[in-house]
A and B are shown apart, each in its own frame.
Chain A
Amino acid sequence: MEGNALASEKRAVILVVEDDESISNLLQINLSLAGFEPIMARDGEKAIEIFRDTPVELVLLDLMLPGKDGWEVLAYIQEKSHGQTPVIITSAKTQKADIEKGFQMGVIDYVTKPFDPLDLAEKIKRVLKKGKG
């Protein structure tokens, strides 16, 4: 795992906000395998703290979080980065209202759980490539 992560010269930093331990681990493993540098946050406060202090190229954001929820975190990120940081929501909330709200708040994508972590990694790659290009 560690070795793979070092394969790329400059690994894109991804902030992963996810409270469920299993999913958090899953994402960490898969993103690392895909050549990113995931930074894990298990709640909203932590996520905001990291985003404030660390330059991040993309955010994976769960909505149901203890403490500050995903919407609050999203609002902070959009405000802080002036909408420049792409955010992908990963949530078990599948209701149309939530999805619409997400896109209204400027997210790049809204991925509903359960998802394929490999597909998600590909999606992130495309987003980052597109952003660079």
Chain B
Amino acid sequence: MLWRSSEDQDIVDTIRIRLLIAFFLVAFVPLVISDYFLSRKAFENSVDQLSESFSRIHPVAKELGDQMGEIRETLSETFFAPAFLSLPTEKQERLLSQIVASYQGKVRSVYLFDQGGRVLLRVPRDAEPPSFTLLKAFSIGKSFEKEGMLFEEPGKEPEEDLLYQIKTQKQGTRWVLARLDLSQFSQFLRDAGEGEKILFYLVNQRGNSLTSLGHSLVSPPRRSTGGIEVSEIRGFHVVRDYVPIADSQLWLVAEQRLPKGHGSVLLWVCVSVLLGLVGSLLLSRLISKRILLLKEMADQIGGGKLDEPISGFSGNDEIASLARSFEQMRISLKDTLTRYDDSLKTERMLYEKVRQRLEEISTLHRIAISLSSTLSLEEVMQQALREMSQTLKAESGALFLWNESERILTLKEAHGFHKFELSFHPGEGIVGDILVANTPLLIEDIHETTRYSASTLVQRNTRSFLGAPLLFKGKCIGTVELHHPEPHFFKEDALKLFEVMVSSLAMAIDHARLYEEICNNLEQRMVELFTLYDVSQVVSSSLDLHTILNRVLDLILQTLKADAIFVTLVEQGDREIYFDRGIPEDLRKEYLRVLSISKSLTSLNSGVPILLRDVREEPEFAYFYRLTDPVESLGIIPIMIEGKLLGNVGVFFHRTHLFTDEEARLLFFLANQVAIALKNARLYNTAVEEKEKLNSILTGMSDGVITLDKQSRILTFNPAAEKILGWREKEVVGEPFSSVFRCSNEHERFSLENMLQAFSAETKGADHQEFAVEGRDGSEKILSIAFSPLREESGELLGIVAVFRDVSKLKEFEQLKSNFISTVSHELRTPLTSIKGYIATLLHPATKFDVTTQKDFLQIMNREADRLSSLITDLLEVSKIESQKFRMNPQPLDLVKMVTELVEKYREIGTKHRVDVQASESLQVKIDRAQIEYVLHHLLGNAVKYSPKGGTILVEVRGDEGKVYVSVQDQGIGIPFDEQEKIFDRFHRVDNRPTRWAYGWGLGLFIARKVIEAHGGHIWVESALGGGSKFTFTLPRTDIPSPHAEEASSRKRRNVLKSG
């Protein structure tokens, strides 16, 4: 254990006290015990005893200290872990007891304190309460780096300054210092018992003390935490060792009190002295003189004058031998003290060095921390300069940085004075010299040098100067200097520390610069990125070329800080400025000329940009510099699409501009964006045109066209589709296909859905297929639907296009046509069968028919041939009507007459029906007789056909103003109401009951309608099922001069024809 000087001092004091006592005894005891009551041996014994008692103190304390050191080590090993805290109290207690026991009474008691100074545990339990108090200040915040020790004696105010200083030092670095409550501190001091010597320590967590203030019995810590304290309390030597455990949350203090021992010796000696005094008077005369002399000598030694030898005692008596003993004692004491003093001095020096070293290290550490706590160059410089100044107690300091481009040193940071604009060239003044010499410089007193004067320094009153270059990787990046008005303030040792600090500062500055550079680069990158993003945004969000170009040009101007810019487009070989900024109207041609320069032509056509830092360097471009507003730098970037030059972007600067790689890249990118925008704009225009074309096709076409998305939901629905299905586009958009195209037939619905689904897999479309689909009104339409997939170039399905048409009419027509063919076929085959059959019969080789039979056969054949011929006539009529070759040959005639004659003829043929005619006298019309006869014939034929045998057929002819009405009424089976219109259509027949009589209708009524309509009339039927039918047609009348005439004539000519 290293004993510190203050303690040694105390021990030396103790020794001195004891020496005094010894001398006292030595001086008086021989006088008192003159009668040898107390023998010489006894006296010597007592002296031996005294010196033994005296020498006992020191080794015990020393041994104890050693023991305590061991304990402390054990403790820190055992308990330093916070785990100790989590142990149950009994366990903690047991552990502590073991420690106490293991030192066999040398450690009397152990106390466990918490941070607040509370006693948590006492071992043994019946140990006295501790004789001391641990203050809260023992455990200051974690980051408390400042070493410190506060020592106080009663009756003296605590040193507020120290506390304050610690606080202020920490303020700048955000460290929180646990506050030492001064009022509590003072109270504690007041409460302390009289004569008590109380020690307080302010130690850091590692147990290092801050500074040595005053002297005390405080033992410095060894290498581990805690400390040793030896003090005197109420007649005891108290030795304490305290150890913080569990991260300083607890403090363990071991205490040993030792009886002072020499107190009883003193008492015993005093009693002996008093007793001796009485009997010594007799002897006093004999030896008093020598004794007095000896006393004087002893006094001298007692007073510390060990240099004076004890002499003058001759002879061999007791006193002389005592004097010799004293002399020896003096010499040995002197030796001891000298030795002590020497070792004390060495240790003091050693200590001072260690302390200083620690201080330096801690300063460097602090500087390193403060430098690494920020990356801002300014803060780094500011903090470093402040720390340096404080550490080296400089009055002021300055920091210069080397500006490489201007080759100048500039004042960047000041401490202790206000910063002002100041710069030095290399070699100029002290600062310039340091830079050039590249070595640190210490001027202890500037007045002693001839080379420099204080007037060249930032602080004129400087006497002592410290300066060093900031070197990083062998390069000088600046200088730092510290000043002090006192001469010789800075010495060699300060220079060393300064150098170390400067080198770490240089590194920090370099880091900060690097960081700033990175930040700037990053910022630049961010700006670029934002620019690119912005442009892409605009390009992708707008299709308007003007908007895009505006934005792009703005960005180029902003980012590059260009003065003028243009965008040209190559249209049919001509180059024109399409867009520009900052180009004077009258100079546009001059600017544009840049493109016709041969160098430009070749390089731009191959897609290589031209970037010129100085136009004067290229003779072809030099004219730019001669413009009224000279251009110094320019850049021409091609706008290319698919290897084709679309135009150029030109950037112009009125100052020298060096295009960085980033800028070149940016320009390229922007030109590309312009290219994309151009392409997009062109594509868009084409797309719009195409879309309009397509729209007009879709709107105009008669086929329904719809588009579906991938989920078969309707996207578009063209007008034809609306017309066919009855839905409006807005009603069906977004609806599923199947809810609009509803198939009543389960099978068809299934196949329609299948067809749709097949598209997700197949690439080709599907041919037209027919489906019966319900329209909006519920009517069924037969639709011929074709699907084709809409695909992206990649082949991914976008949707489906369905094209469909309403083939209901066509289907119906086809059905009619088929019916017609079948009917015609039947109608032709029936008479043919008869004809052919009768001929075959007649030709039968085995049979001979008589003439009558033969004639009968021939008549039948003739009739059947007629039937065949009339059918063929009908067919011809139809084909004429159909082929629009229907020609009329109208002639004026009396309709009544014509009808009557026809009926007469009919009757002649012979019929089983009664035909009545009801007609006015005469009705003049202008008609094609043959055609109207055909109609009548047909109507009569039908009437005959559908009337039961013997039924009456009524033919009526009447007229009114402008029209004649002819009707044929039968008593037949009638025609269902819903069929009444259709029977006039071509090939129609009432075929819900395909009976024999139905054949032959179709053509007749169709022809009749065509004929009547061709005459400007109408034909219709009134009928009820089972209630007979009445066919009526009208024709325009030609014989009505006036209503009166008509009336007269009708009265006169009325005639009713009746026939049986």
Chain A residues near B (Cβ < 8 Å)? 4, 19-20, 22-23, 25-27, 29-30, 33, 64-67, 69, 92-95, 112-118
Contacts and interface: CB of A to CB of B under 8 A. Distances in A.
Interface stretch (B266-274, B839-847, B903-911): B839-847
B826 A92 contact: yes
A66 B995 contact: yes
Given A33-B841, A69-B995, A95-B822, 4 more contacts: A26-B834, A66-B995, A67-B995, A114-B829
A25 B860 CA distance: 10
Contacts of A118: 840-841, 844
Nearest to A68: B995
Contacts of A69: 994-995
A91 to B, nearest CB: 8
B834 A22 contact: yes
B829 A94 contact: yes
Contacts of A29: 841
B863 interface: yes
Interface in B449-496: none
Contact of B825 (A23, A25, A94): A94
A64 B994 contact: yes
Contact of B999 (A64, A94, A114, A116): A64
Nearest to A33: B847
A19 B834 CA distance: 12
A114 B836 contact: yes
Interface in B259-277: none
Given A22-B860, A22-B864, A64 B826 contact: yes
B36 interface: no
Nearest to A24: B834
Nearest to A121: B844
A26 B838 contact: yes
B820 to A, nearest CB: 13
A64 B834 CA distance: 16
Please classify the interface of chain B as helix (H, G, I), strand (E, B), loop, or mixed, using the class held by over half of its residues.
Answer: helix
Interface residues of B, number: 26
B833 interface: yes
B420 interface: no
A121 to B, nearest CB: 10
8 contacts: A23-B830, A23-B834, A26-B833, A33-B846, A114-B835, A116-B836, A118-B841, A118-B844
A115 B835 CA distance: 10
Contacts of A113: 829-830, 832-833
B417 interface: no
A29 B854 CA distance: 12
Contact of B997 (A66, A93, A94, A117): A66
A26 B837 CA distance: 7
A66 B996 contact: yes
B837 A20 contact: no
Contacts of A112: 829
A30 B997 contact: no
Contacts of A64: 826, 994, 996, 999
Contact of B844 (A25, A33, A67, A94): A33
A19 B841 CA distance: 20
Interface in B844-878: 844, 846-847, 860, 863-864
A113 B833 CA distance: 6
A74 to B, nearest CB: 15
Contacts of A30: 837, 841, 844
Nearest to B996: A66
5 A-B pairs with the lowest CB-CB distances in the bound complex, closest first:
A22-B834, A92-B829, A114-B833, A113-B833, A92-B826
**Residue from B832, B833, B846, B864 having most chain A Cβ neighbours under 10 A:** B833
A30 B843 CA distance: 12
Contact of A114 (B822, B837, B844, B863): B837
